[in-house]
Amino acid sequence: MPQLAPERGRTATPSGRSLPRRGREAVLIAGYLLLAAGLTTAQWGRSDRLFHQYSDQVLFEWMLARTARALVAGENPLHSDAVGFPDGVNLMANTSVLGLGVPLTPVTLLFGSQVAFLVAVAGCLAGTAAAWYFLLSRTLVRSRAAAAVGGLFCGFAPGMIAQAGAHLHMAAQFLVPVILWLVFDPRPGRTVRRGTALGLTVTYQVFLGEETLVFLVLACGLFALAYAVCDPATARRRAPELLGRLGVGTLTALPLLVYPLWWQFFGPQHYRGMPFDVDAYALDLLSFGSWATQTVAGGATSAAGLAPNATEENSFFGVPLLLLSVVAVIRLRRRPLVRALAACGLVFALLALGSSVGVGGTDTGLPGPYRLLREVPLLDLAVPARFPLIVVPVIAILLALLLDDVWQRDGRIAGRIPARGVWAVAVAAALLPLTPTPIRTVPFAPVPDFISSGQWRGYVPDGRTLVAVPPVGGGEATSGMLWSARTGVAFAAPGGFYIGPSGPGDPQAHWGAPDRPTSVLLRHVARSGQVPVVTDADRAQAVADLRHWRAAVVVLGELRHGDAVRQTVELLLGPGTRADDVWIWDVRDQAA
C-alpha cells in the first residue's frame, strides 16, 4: 500500500549510526525541547496565571492530579466523585489523558499539577516534532535538514500551539508517526510482531486522545484509497501485508480496550452527544491564508472572526506556505505519494469549513462537505475546526520532500544562482512568519492559603465535601476544581468543568454537574455583581442543596464580585467567618 520509504534509487540511511550524527540529532531534539519550554515561560513560577483558555488548563491539571492520586491510593482511574459530587464524573468520557498522567505521576506528586501540566505541554510539542523527524529521516528523505524542518512544523504549527495551551489530548501526537510507520512500512514479513506493536500503540493512543486517533484512522483510510487510485499495482501488492497487520492489531487492542470503552459509553455518568453545537466550531475559508494569534506575523486581531476561539486556530497557514505547498505538489506530482497526500490534505481542509461555508465572517450558505458526516456515529461528535490538524503533517511531508528533492538535484537557476539557496529562502519566507510566540496567559486567583496550608481539613470530616463559591460553574471551571487539582485532589467538591449527563435518566450531554437552584443563584451574582432579594424559600433551598452535596464548609475565595457574593451567601446561610484569606461558613450541622 502507500509508500513510506525512499523510492527506487533512494536508499534509506544505513542502520549503523555514527556518533556525530547521533550528536546532531541530540542537539536537534534539545532544540525542540528548548523551543517548547520557551513557549510556556509566561507561567513559570506564576501560580496566579493560567493559559488563556483557563478552564481547559484547570481541567487537565485536575486530570493529572487525579491520575497521580488514583495510582497512589489504588482508586478507579476511570471514574471519580471528587468533582461533581455526589454523582461524579466518567473520566474515560472526559479526556482523562491517562497516557500522560501515569508517566508524569512522579512530577505531579513532587512539584504539583501546574508544573506537571507545563511539562506535558512542552513534552507533547517537542515529542511530536521529534517523532515526525525520525519518521521522515528514516523513511522518506535523505536530507536530515529536510526532516528537521518537517518535524519542526509538525510539532510547532499554529494549530499545535493553539491546542497545546488548552487541549493536551490534541497536542499529544507523538505516537501518530509511530502508528503510521507500523501501518504503512513497506517491508514485508513479521506481520504478527508489527501488528501486535500496532495494537499496543493504538491502545496507548486511546489513553492519550481518542479524537486524534479517530482523525488518524480517517486520514489513513482516505490516504490509502487515494494512493490505490494513483498506483493500483503497488496497492494490490502491499494490501495483504497491510490488512494482516491491521487484523493482528485489532485482535491485540480489542481485549485491552473493551472494558474502558464500555465504561466510557455505558458506564456511570456516560452521556450522549455534545453540550454544544459542533457546527459552531467551524473555520472560515479565509483563515487558511491568515496569521494565527500566537505567531510573529499575527496578533490580537489577526484571526478575529475567522475561528470560533483562539484555541481552534488550526488552519492559519498563511498565503506563502499555501503557495509553497502547491508548488511542491506540482514539482513532485509524478510521485503517487505526493498526489495521495495532496488529495488527503484538500479533503480535510474542506471538512474544516463545517456544514455551511463562511468567508470573511459571512455565512455564504454554500454547503460544506462536513454535512455528510453530521449523522455518522462518532464522527458527528468531531469538531470541524480540528480537521486541519491533519493538514499540518501533510504540508510538513510535502515540505520535507521538496527540500530533499532540491538538495539531491543541486542545480542552478539561470545557470548561476544555486537552486538550494533559492528554495531555502522560499521555505524560510513561508515558515518564519509562523514562528510561535509564548502561549498567552490570563490572571486567575491563586489557591488561598486556607486551602494550600491544609486549614480546611479541620472543617471537612470523611464523607463530607468542601463547597467553593459558586459551587457549579456551568461551562467554565470553578475555583474549587483548581483548588482540588493543586492540593492533589485531597477533598471532594460539587461541580467542575467536564461533560456529563443532563440528569438521572437523561443522557444528553451537559457541561458539568446538573445545576441546583443555589448554584444558579450564586453563579449569577458572581457574574453580575448584583445582590438579589433572598427569600425564606431560597434559604430552605440552600440548605437542601448543601445536604445534597453533603457539604461541611462553604468557602469564598477571591472573586471579581466577591463582596456581592459574600453578602448573598450571608443572606442564605447567616454571617460568615474570616479564616486566613477566605470567608467560610461552617455548615456541618445545617447540612447533616
The dihedral of CA 562, 568, 572, 573: what is its sign? positive
Asked if 573 and 486 sit in the same domain, the reply is yes
Domain range for 522: 449-586
The model's pLDDT over 186-198, given as tens digits with 9 standing for 90+, comes to 888 889 999 999 9
pLDDT at 412: 64
Asked if 424 and 493 sit in the same domain, the reply is no
Dihedral angle of Cα 355, 395, 309, 47, to the nearest 10 degrees = 150
Asked if 375 and 409 sit in the same domain, the reply is yes
Would 125 be classed as within a structural domain? Answer: yes
CA distances to 413, 469, 557, 586 from 561, in Å = 66, 11, 11, 22
240 within 8 A of 186, measured Cβ to Cβ: no
In 315-467, where does DSSP find H-type helix? 319-331, 336-351, 388-409, 419-431, 449-452
Average pLDDT over residues 46-65: 95
The model's pLDDT over 425-459, given as tens digits with 9 standing for 90+, comes to 999 999 999 999 999 999 999 999 999 999 999 99
pLDDT tops 70 at residue 252: yes
Average pLDDT, the chain: 92
The DSSP output letter for 38 is H
**Cβ partners under 8 Å of residue 480, min gap 6:** 83, 466, 467, 468, 471, 493, 494, 495, 496, 555
Dihedral angle of Cα 192, 197, 199, 202, to the nearest 10 degrees = -160
Asked if 425 and 541 sit in the same domain, the reply is no
* One-letter identity of residue 23: G
Asked if 453 and 409 sit in the same domain, the reply is no
pLDDT at 419: 76
Average pLDDT over residues 282-310: 95
Asked if 384 and 303 sit in the same domain, the reply is yes
pLDDT at 413: 60
pLDDT tops 50 at residue 310: yes
Asked if 425 and 479 sit in the same domain, the reply is no
CA distances to 405, 411, 421, 428 from 416, in Å = 19, 9, 11, 21
Q: Lowest mean pLDDT: which of 4-13, 159-168, 285-294, 362-371?
A: 4-13
Asked if 356 and 485 sit in the same domain, the reply is no
pLDDT class for 9, splitting at 50, 70, 90?
A: very low
pLDDT tops 60 at residue 168: yes
Would 91 be classed as within a structural domain? Answer: no
Query: For 529-548, b where at least 16 C-beta lie within 10 A, e where not — what string?
Result: eebeebeeebeebbbebbee
Strands 582-586 and 551-556: antiparallel
**Cβ partners under 8 Å of residue 111, min gap 6:** none
Q: Lowest mean pLDDT: which of 90-104, 148-162, 374-388, 393-407?
A: 374-388
Asked if 126 and 229 sit in the same domain, the reply is yes
Would 41 be classed as within a structural domain? Answer: yes
Total of domains in the chain: 2
pLDDT class for 478, splitting at 50, 70, 90?
A: confident
Would 84 be classed as within a structural domain? Answer: no
Beta bridge partners of 441: 51
pLDDT at 54: 92
Q: Percent of the chain scored above 70 by pLDDT?
A: 96
Would 131 be classed as within a structural domain? Answer: yes
pLDDT tops 90 at residue 474: no
Dihedral angle of Cα 77, 78, 84, 87, to the nearest 10 degrees = -120
The DSSP output letter for 90 is E
Q: Lowest mean pLDDT: which of 172-176, 259-263, 372-376?
A: 372-376
pLDDT at 16: 44
Asked if 490 and 427 sit in the same domain, the reply is no
Would 73 be classed as within a structural domain? Answer: no
Asked if 305 and 377 sit in the same domain, the reply is yes
Last residue of a domain, one of 383, 402, 434: 434
Return the CA Rg of the chain: 26
pLDDT at 15: 44
What nine digits make up the cell of 19? 556518533
Q: Please tell me the pTM assigned to this model.
A: 0.93
The DSSP output letter for 365 is E
Query: For 243-265, b where at least 16 C-beta lie within 10 A, e where not — what string?
Result: eebbebbeebbeeebeebeebbe
pLDDT at 249: 97
What nine digits make up the cell of 227? 494512493
pLDDT tops 90 at residue 23: no
Per-residue HEC secondary structure of 316-328 comes to CCCHHHHHHHHHH
Beta bridge partners of 66: none
CA distances to 96, 134, 168, 421, 556 from 84, in Å = 15, 43, 22, 59, 18
pLDDT at 476: 76
Would 1 be classed as within a structural domain? Answer: no
245 within 8 A of 182, measured Cβ to Cβ: yes
Asked if 420 and 472 sit in the same domain, the reply is no
Name the region of 354 (left: φ>0; alpha: ψ -120 to 50; beta: rest): left
The model's pLDDT over 334-365, given as tens digits with 9 standing for 90+, comes to 999 999 999 999 999 999 999 999 999 999 99
Give the closest residue to 401 by CA, choosing from 337, 320, 323, 317: 337
What nine digits make up the cell of 483? 483548588
Last residue of a domain, one of 405, 434, 463: 434
The model's pLDDT over 528-565, given as tens digits with 9 standing for 90+, comes to 999 999 999 999 999 999 999 999 999 999 999 999 99
Classify 357 as helix, strand or coil. Answer: strand
Average pLDDT over residues 375-390: 87
pLDDT class for 1, splitting at 50, 70, 90?
A: very low
Last residue of a domain, one of 373, 408, 434: 434
pLDDT tops 80 at residue 414: no
Would 562 be classed as within a structural domain? Answer: yes
Greater confidence (242 vs 419) lies with 242
Per-residue HEC secondary structure of 477-532 comes to CCHHHHHHHHCCCCCCCCCCCCEEEEECCEEEEEECCCCCHHHHHHHHHHHHCCCC
